[in-house]
A and B are shown apart, each in its own frame.
Chain A
Amino acid sequence: MKNDETLFTAYQKNLKRERKIILSWQLLILISFISLWEVSSKMYWIDPLLFSSPTRITLSLFERFINGSMFTHLSVTLFETILGFIIGTIGGVIIASSLWSSNRFSRIMDPYLVVLNAMPKVALGPIIIVALGPGYLSIITMGFLVSVIITTLTVYSAFNEVDPNYEKVLKSFGATKWQCFKEAVFPATLPTIISMLKVNVGLSWVGVIVGEYLVSKQGLGYLIIYGFQVFDFTLVMSSLVIIAILAAMMYKIVERIERWLIKNTK
Chain B
Amino acid sequence: MSFLTLDRVSHHYFYKNGYTKALENISFTLKEGEFISLLGPSGCGKSTILSIISGLFKQTEGHVTLENKPITESKLAIGYMLQQDYLFPWKTILSNALLGPKITNNNEDSMRQTALQLLEEVGLSGVADKYPTELSGGMRQRVALVRTLINDPKILLLDEPFSALDYQTKLKLEDLVGKLLKTYHKSAILVTHDIGEAIAMSDRILVMGSNPGTIAKSFEVPIELRNQLPLEVRKHPKYQILFDKIWAELEEKEKQKGRSS
Contact = CB atoms under 8 A, between A and B. Distances in A.
B56 A171 contact: yes
B80 A172 contact: yes
B88 A174 contact: no
Contact of B99 (A168, A173, A188): A173
Interface string A157-192: 000000101101111111100010001100110100
Nearest to A172: B80
Contacts, number: 47
Interface string B111-151: 00000000000000000000100000000000000010001
B79 interface: yes
A175 B88 CA distance: 15
Interface string B26-70: 000000000000000000000000000011100000000000000
A265 interface: yes
B99 A170 contact: yes
A contact face: mostly helix, strand, loop, or mixed: helix
A266 interface: yes
Contacts of A166: 86, 88
Contact of B90 (A168, A169, A174, A266): A266
A169 B78 CA distance: 12
A170 B78 CA distance: 12
Contact of A169 (B55, B82, B104, B131): B82
Contact of B131 (A163, A187, A266): A266
Interface range, A side: 10 to 19
A265 B54 CA distance: 31
A82 B156 CA distance: 52
Nearest to B102: A183
Contacts of B80: 168-169, 172
Contacts of B104: 173-174
Given A170-B99, A173-B151, A179-B103, A187 B78 contact: no
Contacts of A165: 82, 84, 86
Nearest to B157: A172
Contacts of A173: 99-100, 103-104, 151
A172 B56 CA distance: 7
Interface in A181-223: 183-184, 187-188, 190
B82 A168 contact: yes
A188 B86 CA distance: 12
A266 B132 CA distance: 11
Contacts of A169: 80, 82, 86, 99, 147
Given A168-B80, A174-B104, 6 more contacts: A169-B80, A169-B147, A173-B99, A174-B55, A183-B99, A183-B102
30 contacts: A165-B82, A165-B84, A166-B88, A168-B56, A168-B80, A168-B86, A169-B86, A169-B99, A169-B147, A170-B103, A172-B54, A172-B55, A172-B56, A172-B78, A172-B79, A172-B80, A173-B99, A173-B100, A173-B104, A173-B151, A174-B55, A174-B104, A175-B103, A183-B88, A183-B103, A187-B88, A187-B90, A190-B90, A265-B90, A266-B90
